Structure 1
Amino acid sequence: MNKKYVLFAILPFALSACQSFPTHLKKNEAMIVETQSPDLLQTLSDYTWIYQSSEKLPPIVLDLDAQKRIFIKTGCNNLMGAWQFDGKQINTAPLAATQMLCPPEFMAQEHTAFQFFNQAQLNASINISNPVHPLLTLENKAGQKITFKGEIKPEAKYKSTGEVVFLEVSPNKKPCPTDNTQQCLQVKQVKYDKQGIQTQIDQSWQVLPVEIQGYQHNTKQSKIIRVKRFNTKPQTATPEYAYIYDMTIEEEVAPQK
């Protein structure tokens, strides 16, 4: 690729404007509950919660992280703010949102999510009869209920924070090293400095022996993507990695042969 600069997406970690809670939430009471209910709180933050309202729409994805930040992917704009748990309810501060135009049905879903989660008091219950995919049911003051299916976060699954890695992905696959009847991705590792300027790229392609979870490959495009890499066997001398797709940094149409 000819591009040497990359524009990183602005991540919603600076939430100082969204931290004020409504008066119904008393912080000291929430802290007491957190001390008394560590398992429930751990479950809330260990999973990503997914609600699919329609096959025609992207899912609503809810992330309640351990730093008490809430992130909501709506299929259009992303919502972000802060949350606390008082033992029965998830309470949210006023939400901020990215600003992007989307198809009307996507924006309608975003509006629904904003109305449900903004400065809300949500009764919360978790069904863990299926520990692989627990269910989180939230109910607002109007009696509207939404049930989310849990997907364990890789940080919880692999008990580590993971390493952020940038990979250039070739449009062409090669036979997998462990099973040549299967096709695997070819990748090069890319490095950037703090200003987002590309500083290094591997000279040769490497065949990745595992899939990049969440990544949709396109044989007509070359891409540079950001992934999180987790060592699944940290106790062994030879690491084995799992790769989780995060976002696409650059893409261009591959030359036709």
Structure 2
Amino acid sequence: MRVHLLLLPLALAACATLATANGAPATPPRSAGSKATTPDAALLGGYHWQLAKATNRYGQRIAAMFVRSEKPLQLDFDHGRVSVRNSCNGMGGNYRIVNGQLVVGPMMHTMMACANFMLNRLDSLISVRLGIRPTITVTRSGGTLLLQLHTKAGDTLVFTGIPTPETRYGGPGVTEFLEVSPQTVPCNHPLMPSSQCLDVREVHFDANGLKTGTPGDWHVLAQGIEDYTHQPGVRNVLRVKRYTVKNPPADAPAVAYVLDMVVESATAGH
């Protein structure tokens, strides 16, 4: 399926709801916990930021920004770009932090129409707020990092920081491609007798995304792949990141696999 990109206008009708009564900037609130500081690119890039709270200048919850509780709106910062996930369309654009404000350039987005009207609307709700130079700060509440975006209109968006695999495992992962057999196979595990494991083999792709070389031998993967849920009868080719686990517990694997994307998917026999 072809995906078309276009500029997402930031001056949408929703802007009208963001204007303050007197035009004066509102004072950003302070969260309980550590002092609010302006984050750098390294800190932003080390976490997935999931929307936990959104309020207007009166402290009222902006319910329209919480469409799917199981998939909260998420911001990812990587190499000078910010991406929006779990809205209707995938969106992204370049960003800078200038004088404590998040400055986002013109955002590109996939052009899809979601059946859920509220999900469609979520695209504009977040893009408008990202496009008007909100103040950006980070605080620590216990062991959790909280990212706050505060607009001149008084809207406050609070995002919870979820460590990326690179942060959790202390370094970059190695990209691999694994073909997963449609059916799981019995495997022996000292803590889980009669368990089932994935049957996988390594495959290779060239720079153009075409399969190359000879696949590796099928073997039992005696551990799961983070963020991947296997469906019996479905063959998948996965792009994964492999990480070294420092000081793993006894009987635990010394490596971890994290799903990056599903490259191919087909039912058995196809």
Return the TM-score normalized by structure 1.
Answer: 0.74
| Number of aligned residue pairs | 220
CA distance in 1 between partners of 2:39 and 2:129 (Å): 25
For the residue of structure 2 that corresponds to 1:128, the secondary structure is strand
Q: 1:98 aligns with which of 110, 114, 118?
A: 110
8 Å Cα contact 1:74-1:110 kept in structure 2: no
Displacement of 1:125 after TM fit?
A: 2.6
Q: 1:122 aligns with which of 129, 134, 156?
A: 134
Q: How does 1:40-55 map to 2 (within 5 A)?
A: 40-51=40-51, 53-55=66-68
Q: Match of 1:205, as an amino acid?
A: W
8 Å Cα contact 1:57-1:75 kept in structure 2: no
8 Å Cα contact 1:226-1:248 kept in structure 2: yes
Displacement of 1:156 after TM fit?
A: 2.2
8 Å Cα contact 2:203-2:214 kept in structure 1: yes
Q: Deviations over 1:66-111 (max 9, x none)?
A: x221111133211111112235322211211122232233222222
For the residue of structure 1 that corresponds to 2:231, the secondary structure is coil
CA distance in 1 between partners of 2:174 and 2:85 (Å): 23
Q: Match of 1:246, as an amino acid?
A: D
Q: Any unmatched runs of 5+ in structure 1?
A: 1-6, 19-36
Quote the residue 1:166 is aligned against.
177
For the residue of structure 1 that corresponds to 2:141, the secondary structure is coil
Q: Pairwise CA RMSD of aligned residues?
A: 3.1
Quote the residue 1:64 is aligned against.
77
Quote the residue 2:257 is aligned against.
243
8 Å Cα contact 1:224-1:250 kept in structure 2: yes
Q: Percent identity?
A: 29
Quote the residue 1:144 is aligned against.
155
Q: Match of 2:226, as an amino acid?
A: Q
The more displaced of 79-88 and 189-198 is 79-88
Q: Match of 2:101, as an amino acid?
A: Q
Please say if 1:210 is aligned against 2:230: no
Q: Deviations over 1:149-208 (max 9, x none)?
A: 111111222232211111111232233443452322221111011222211353532111
CA distance in 2 between partners of 1:154 and 1:57 (Å): 20
Displacement of 1:252 after TM fit?
A: 0.7
Q: Match of 1:186, as an amino acid?
A: D
Q: Match of 2:42, as an amino acid?
A: Q
Q: Match of 1:166, as an amino acid?
A: F
CA distance in 1 between partners of 2:181 and 2:142 (Å): 38
Return the TM-score normalized by structure 2.
Answer: 0.70
For the residue of structure 2 that corresponds to 1:157, the secondary structure is helix
8 Å Cα contact 1:57-1:106 kept in structure 2: no
Q: Any unmatched runs of 5+ in structure 2?
A: 9-36, 53-65, 248-252
